Amino acid sequence: MKISDIGEFGFIDAVKDNTIFRPQSVVVGIGDDGAVYKTTAGMEQIAVIDTMVEGSHFIIGKTASWYDVGYKAVASNLSDIAAMGGVPTHLVLSTAIRPDMDMADLTEMYDGMKAICRKYGVNILGGDTVLSKGSLVITVAAFGEVEAGKAICRSGAKAGDVVAVSHCVGDSSGGLDVLLHGAEGYKRLTQAHKLPVPQIELGRLLVAHHCHSLNDISDGLASESNEIAKASGVVLVLDRARIPVSPELQQWAAAQHTDCWHYVFNGGEDYELIFTMAPRDFDALQQEYPDVTAIGTVEAGKGCVYLQHDGQQTLLPPSGWNHFRNEGEHTIGYNDARRT
Ligand code: ADP
Ligand code: MG
């Protein structure tokens, strides 16, 4: 059955059930002009939004299933809430749908959304359905809350802080490459790309452990670390040897004769966290949550990132790791920026 067979209202009817996973905070859900929800006393509200476009963010049958699309459209939003230290509570969404789309595919996309919403106790409070003559577009806006005054910004890094990341970096873009090549195996990488895990639990622990600055890694470590350095007006010095890279990513990079650092610094959609905090607080955090790795330190200075490796420090621009792109050109703009 095509969506054009049942129309906009038939579609809404087909997807509106099983959308409430945090019932205590909903007054009115899907079905009226607007949704009505309650907030928690003492908490401040967080709002985020993200859009995914068929063909640019995903290719059905190649890099994602419809289930994955729904799951990831929500995951990227929950990651932004995690990156503020918040608890996600609700979302609304907008879908621009081709008239010839199969209801089974759309239902599968909603199954993906509902699965992650169930997992993290997030309500789907409503949406908008419009016709698209081209690609499917899905926009999700999510809401969350954090204790008043406790949201963790990018701007709070202080000289003397430890710089750390969660889990491994680069798996998702490695996974995208695996999928685009149609290669078998590398499940860890392809899962990281298709069904990313928003780091909500860690975000909450970072609030509890007085984290100073926080960002999620949606555009690669080079870009995200520079965002913290710039917003905080400090220098981040990263030690390449300490950056956690999964054996699977190293294996894939070796098999492709590519540089795994390209995925780490320039890749995207890891949805891991990069953060800075006082060394003592970091030790306490690590006791409670071992899957975090110190990768560098914060120094006083003017909003840039240095990468330490083989006894040298070189500037790491937000655009990332140039070595891969300039292969054969002797790492232009990279070695030239050596710090003395
Ligand atoms: P209105 O015309 O008042 O904007 P709609 O007819 O667009 O309302 O939507 C009716 C109800 O269905 C609203 O509660 C809206 O939030 C919900 N809704 C519409 N489209 C979607 C969608 N794609 N997913 C979830 N809920 C939706
Ligand atoms: Mg109305």
Could you report the per-residue pLDDT of 153-197, keeping only the tens digit for each? 999 999 999 999 999 999 999 999 999 999 999 999 999 999 999
When the pLDDT of each residue in the chain is averaged and rounded to a whole number, the result is 94
- pLDDT average, residue stretch 35-47: 98
Taking the CA of residue 125 as reference, the ligand 1 atom at the shortest distance is: 16
CA 322 to CA 316: how far, in whole Å?
Answer: 9
Under 8 Å between Cβ of 270 and 196:
yes
DSSP run (H or E) holding 305: strand 304-309
3-state class (DSSP) for residue 296: strand
Atom 7 of ligand 1: nearest residue by CA position? 128
CA 123 to CA 103: how far, in whole Å?
Answer: 22
Confidence of residue 319 (pLDDT cuts 50, 70, 90): confident
310 lines ligand 1 (CB under 6 A): no
If one counts every other C-beta atom within 10 angstroms of the C-beta of residue 23, the result is 9
Domains observed in the chain:
3-147 (3.30.1330.10), 154-315 (3.90.650.10)
Query: Which pLDDT does position 248 carry in this prediction?
Result: 98
- The dihedral of CA 285, 287, 290, 296: what is its sign? positive
CA 83 to CA 216: how far, in whole Å?
Answer: 5
Residue type, 130: V
128 lines ligand 1 (CB under 6 A): yes
**Range with the lowest mean pLDDT among 231-235, 277-281, 331-335?**
331-335
As a whole number of angstroms, the longest Cα–Cα distance in the chain is 68
How far apart are the CA of 239 and the centre of ligand 1, in A? 49
How far apart are the CA of 10 and the centre of ligand 1, in A? 11
DSSP 17: S
How far apart are the CA of 31 and the centre of ligand 2, in A? 9
Query: Which pLDDT does position 327 carry in this prediction?
Result: 40
Atom 1 of ligand 1: nearest residue by CA position? 33
Atom 22 of ligand 1: nearest residue by CA position? 127
Atom 10 of ligand 1: nearest residue by CA position? 31
132 lines ligand 1 (CB under 6 A): no
Token pair 């963010």 in the structure block, residue:
57
Query: Which pLDDT does position 335 carry in this prediction?
Result: 33
pTM of the full structure? 0.94
CA 106 to CA 124: how far, in whole Å?
Answer: 16
How far apart are the CA of 34 and the centre of ligand 2, in A? 7
Query: Which pLDDT does position 320 carry in this prediction?
Result: 64
